[in-house]
Copies of this chain bind each other. A is one copy, B any other.
Amino acid sequence: MKFCTSCGSTVALTIPEGDDRERFVCTSCESIHYVNPRVIVGCLPVHEDKVLLCKRAIEPRLGYWTLPAGFMENGETTPQGAARETWEEARARVTDLELYRIFDVPYISQVYMFYRCRVEDGRYGVGPESLETGLYTEQEIPWDEIAFPVVKQTLQSYFEDVKTGHYPVQVSAVEYRRRS
């Protein structure tokens, strides 16, 4: 951030009075510009013994498989956002959304929220951000081609939990690690 969104003057990183950390503060109108973490909402869409995956048509991780997910938008709830992303990426309508996994990723200031849900009538298609989509059993999933660690963990948890029929909500933090 270089310029103030209110008046267009330059901003400087300083600690405002009464605060304890640096913020972008306008050198002219003194507006304080807070920068906060962003929420990524997604679904784990299930149909019978299969889950719906999308092959990414966009960077990062183009060509790798993921669950439908994306940045939460203003004016929506977290399940609404998760369902919207699933429509956009996999042209599937989802029902019975239940919060399932939350991942804090502090080194990039993101919070992921995945909802377990059903694929209405088992129908899906291919949205503009996907190269292809498909329903996969545990054995069929391309485990070595999953786009992001949070997606792999969510899928692994799910197939563990299927065995017991209990799907507890879990929160975990993802630490930074360089991809090997």
Contacts and interface: CB of A to CB of B under 8 A. Distances in A.
Interface in A28-74: 33-39, 71-74
Nearest to A9: B8
A137 interface: no
Nearest to A98: B171
| Copies per complex of this chain | 2
A78 B104 contact: yes
A73 B36 contact: yes
B78 A34 contact: no
Contact of A18 (B75, B111, B128): B128
A79 B171 contact: yes
Interface in A92-141: 99, 102, 104, 106-107, 109, 111, 128
A157 interface: no
A15 interface: no
A131 to B, nearest CB: 16
A109 B75 CA distance: 5
Contact of A78 (B11, B33, B38, B102): B102
Contacts of A18: 128
A21 interface: yes
Contacts of A173: 77
A14 interface: no
Contacts of A21: 73
Which 8 A-B pairs give the minimum distances between C-beta atoms?
A77-B104, A3-B8, A74-B109, A169-B169, A1-B5, A8-B8, A77-B173, A36-B38
Interface of A: 1-11, 18, 21, 33-39, 71-80, 99, 102, 104, 106-107, 109, 111, 128, 169, 171, 173
